[in-house]
Amino acid sequence: MAAPLARTQLSKLKSISQIPCQINRIRNQTLSLNRLCQRSIFTSFVRPKTATKWKIGAGVAFVSSVFATKFITKSDAASEERPVSRHVKGILDIGDQKFTLYQFQSCPYCCKVRATLDFFGFPYDVVEVNSITKSQIKFSDYKKVPILVVDGNDGENDFTLQFSDSSVIMSVLASYVYDQTTTLQTIQTYYPGMKEKRGRKTVWDFPNKYFLMYGDNIADSRSEKERSSERQWRKWVDDILMHTISPNVYRTLGESLEAFRHFSDWGEWDKHFSTPTRLFVVYVGTLAMYIIGRVVKKRYNIKDNPRESLYEACDAWMAELGDQSFLGGTKPNMADLSVYGALHSFNGCEAFNDLMSFHAIRGWYDNIEAIINTHEGASQLGQKPAHHPNYIGYPHCN
C-alpha cells in the first residue's frame, strides 16, 4: 500500500516564486524594463513640462528594450537548434526508456534532481533551458524547471510522461529504484498536482511530494521515525536552507558578478546561448539578483551578514546528523541528496568557498559528493533479486 497522502492545504503553500532563483528574476526584470520603457514614452508625450527628463529616460529604456528583445529572439533561435546540451551515461539499464531533464545548471532545485539521478546512476539527457524565453519548456503547462520527461514504450504503445517539481521527481526516482515491480506510469498517479490561479500567477502544489511510494512490495527496514525525519528534512531544505542561498551568493555587487561569470562557465552558456543573451543575463542578472538577494534577506529574516544564517542552517543539519555519516545512516537518503543539491548549486562562488573553509560541513559534503559521482545508489539494487532487470552491475554492489 502506498504511503498515506499528505494533507497539505494549498492555501498554506508558500509562493513557489519566492524562491531564490536568479533566472526567473532576470526575466521579470526584462519585462519590467519593457513596462518602464512604455511608461516613460507615454509620460514624455502627455507631460511636456518634464519632457527632457522623461525623453532621456524613454530613450535609454527604449534602446535597452529593443536590444533586450533582439537578444532574446536571437538566443531563442540558437537554443532551439541544439536542444540537448549533454548526455549523461549513467550505469543503469532503463530499457528503451529515455530520460530528459529540462534545467538551469545552477538552479538549486535542478541540482537536487541531478544529484538523485547521478546517485542512482540513471542515464539521461540534459536540456539547458533559456532562462529568458524558456522556449524549451513551451510544451509544458508547468512553467518552471526542473522538469523530467520520460519517453518509453509499454510493449504496445509509446508513452511520454512528464514529472515536475524537484521533490516530486526525487520521490518518483527513489520509488522506482526501490520497487521496480511498479511502472513509472503507475508511480506518476501517486503524485497528483494541484494548480491554483493567484492573480496572474499559476501556483502548483504536489501534496505527496516528500513521500516515497514503494508500498508493500519492498521490505523497508527503516523505522517510521527515520522515514518521517527524511520527509521533515527534505521540507526544511525547501523552506529554510534554500532561502539562505541568494542573500549569500549575491551578497555584494562584486560577488554577484563573480557568481554570474561562474554560472556562465559552469552552464556553458557560450555553447547554448548567443553572446548578446549571455552578456545580457550576466550583467542584468548581476544587478537583479543583488537586489533580489536583499529582498529575500528581509523577507526571511536572514542575518545582517547572511553567512551567519547559512552557517546556522548548516549547524542545524550537522547537529541532526550527530555521529552518523548521513541522515540515511551509512548511505545518503533523499534529505542528504537535497542538502547536497542546494549547496552544490553555488559551488565555485565565494559563499561556497567560505562555507567549505569555515564550516565543519565540508567532510559530509566531500563524502556525499564522492558517493554521488560513483553512483553508489545503484548498490541499493543489490538488495533486490540478482535477476533484477534494470541492474547492469556495479563494483559497489554486494
Ligand X SMILES: N[C@@H](CCC(=O)N[C@@H](CS)C(=O)NCC(=O)O)C(=O)O
Report the interface residues with ligand X, using CB under 6 A.
Answer: 16-17, 19, 21, 23-24, 104, 107, 109, 143-146, 165-167
Q: How far is CA 138 from CA 15, 29, 143, 147, 150, in A?
A: 22, 20, 8, 12, 17
> Which of 91, 242 has the CB closer to ligand X?
242
The two beta strands, 86-88 and 124-128, are: antiparallel
Neighbours of 304 (CB within 10 A): 8
> Which of 91, 313 has the CB closer to ligand X?
313
> Which of 133, 166 has the CB closer to ligand X?
166
Residue 106 CB, shortest distance to ligand X, in Å, is: 8
> Which of 16, 41 has the CB closer to ligand X?
16
Ramachandran category for residue 332: left, alpha or beta (phi over 0 → left; psi -120 to 50 → alpha): beta
State the number of CA atoms in the 13 A half-sphere of 149 facing the CB. Answer: 16
Residue 18 CB, shortest distance to ligand X, in Å, is: 9
Residue 201 CB, shortest distance to ligand X, in Å, is: 9
> Which of 167, 171 has the CB closer to ligand X?
167
Residue 126 CB, shortest distance to ligand X, in Å, is: 15
Nearest to 255 by CA among 356, 353, 349, 345: 349
Quick check: 129 and 118 in contact, CB under 8 A? no
Closest residue to bound ligand X by CB: 21
Q: Which long-range contacts (CB under 8 A, 24 or more apart) does 154-162 make?
A: 154/183, 154/185, 159/185, 161/185, 161/188
Residue 2 CB, shortest distance to ligand X, in Å, is: 21
> Which of 112, 375 has the CB closer to ligand X?
112
Residue 107 CB, shortest distance to ligand X, in Å, is: 3
CA 363 to CA 352: how far, in whole Å? Answer: 14
Q: What is the DSSP letter of 237?
A: I
